[in-house]
């Protein structure tokens, strides 16, 4: 691994502190959430901690190795993970229901399967036109597809813009319209690299011409990644605390790392 600049190194250190705190307290959070009526929603929250943790660790490592192209590609995925987690968080509290978690694990899974089957059908038709394919049409499948659209990032964005300023709690208050818009703009600008497009290629080569801009871009990707992962963890712990007062101490320890982060940035 190449030498990391101080800001990225600080993020590594801070991420290690966060990981240790999660490792210490997550069993209690899992046990507590398991007793709530938000079974599917809680399962989703906990899975996102794991998934975003893997992404964040990879992004920090790639940033430290100055691999800006791969970092950009993973950052786009991190943004989408964060949006989906935030949507499930806000929607479950607004609806006071586990239904959004159920739709995530049941209907969205069905929608993903249908999309895969449909694409594979089309591929098979091109190679084996005589082959019998899966039937992915019908009203039932159409309804599944429509519900699946609920979790697309643009639909999440529109829902959060309309429903994310009700000051239900301190986490939600931080996610204002401007923040959500900037994240979605970042997500959109990073799309080209994910799909091997020329815009991403041009941005990559232009960065290589300016070392200072290159370094600042790496720092931004690393910082954004940690912040997205941290906010996701913090929201999950807050949700657990909202459901069970006994989880307050665990939430406070996670929350206090925000102050530690401020000191790291000095």
For 222-235, the pLDDT digits (tens) are 999 999 999 999 99
Of residues 108 and 139, more confidently modeled: 108
**124 pLDDT above the threshold of 50:** yes
Q: Is 152 a domain residue?
A: no
Domain count along the chain: 1
**145 pLDDT above the threshold of 60:** yes
Task: Give the whole-angstrom CA distance, residue 92 versus residue 86.
Answer: 10
pLDDT value, residue 24: 96
Q: Is 141 a domain residue?
A: no
Of residues 115 and 4, more confidently modeled: 115
Residues 98-117, mean pLDDT to the nearest whole number: 85
pLDDT value, residue 53: 97
Q: Is 35 a domain residue?
A: yes
Q: Is 189 a domain residue?
A: yes
Residues 130-158, mean pLDDT to the nearest whole number: 78
Q: How confident is the model at residue 195 (pLDDT cuts 50, 70, 90)?
A: confident
- Domain holding 52, by residue range, is 6-97+164-264
Of residues 173 and 64, more confidently modeled: 64
**1 pLDDT above the threshold of 50:** no
Q: Which among 238, 189, 213 is positioned nearest to 73, based on CA atoms? A: 189
Task: Give the whole-angstrom CA distance, residue 147 versus residue 80.
Answer: 18
Provide the 10 A C-beta neighbour count for residue 179.
12
Q: Is 102 a domain residue?
A: no
Q: Can you give the pTM of this predicted structure?
A: 0.87
Residues 167-183, mean pLDDT to the nearest whole number: 70
Cα distances from 49 to residues 154, 161, 190, 233, in angstroms, run 22, 24, 23, 6
Q: Is 143 a domain residue?
A: no
Q: Is 129 a domain residue?
A: no
Residues 45-66, mean pLDDT to the nearest whole number: 97
Of residues 34 and 140, more confidently modeled: 34
Task: Give the whole-angstrom CA distance, residue 257 versus residue 231.
Answer: 11
**191 pLDDT above the threshold of 60:** yes
Q: Is 111 a domain residue?
A: no
Q: How confident is the model at residue 2 (pLDDT cuts 50, 70, 90)?
A: very low
């Amino acid at each position: 691994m190449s030498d990391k600049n101080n800001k990225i190194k600080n993020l590594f250190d801070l991420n290690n502190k966060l990981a240790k705190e999660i490792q210490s307290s997550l069993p209690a959070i899992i046990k507590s959430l398991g007793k709530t009526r938000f079974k599917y929603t809680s399962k989703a929250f906990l899975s996102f901690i794991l998934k975003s943790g893997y992404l964040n660790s990879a992004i920090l490592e790639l940033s430290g190795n100055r691999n800006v192209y791969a970092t950009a590609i993973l950052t786009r995925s991190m943004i989408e993970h964060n949006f989906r987690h935030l949507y499930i968080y806000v929607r479950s509290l607004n609806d006071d229901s586990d239904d959004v978690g159920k739709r995530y694990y049941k209907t969205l899974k069905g929608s993903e399967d249908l999309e895969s089957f449909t694409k594979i059908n089309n591929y098979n038709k091109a190679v084996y036109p005589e082959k019998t394919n899966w039937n992915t049409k019908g009203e039932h499948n159409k309804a599944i597809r429509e519900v699946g659209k609920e979790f697309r990032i643009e639909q999440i964005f529109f829902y959060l813009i309309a429903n994310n300023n009700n000051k239900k709690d301190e986490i939600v208050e931080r996610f204002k319209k401007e923040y959500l818009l900037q994240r979605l703009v970042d997500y959109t600008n990073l799309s080209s690299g994910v799909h091997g497009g020329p815009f991403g290629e041009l941005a990559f080569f232009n960065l290589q011409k300016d070392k200072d801009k290159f370094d600042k871009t790496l720092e931004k990707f690393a910082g954004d990644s940690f912040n997205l992962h941290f906010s996701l963890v913090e929201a999950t712990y807050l949700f657990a605390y909202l459901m069970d007062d006994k989880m307050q101490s665990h939430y406070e320890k996670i929350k206090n790392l925000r102050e530690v982060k401020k000191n790291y940035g000095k």
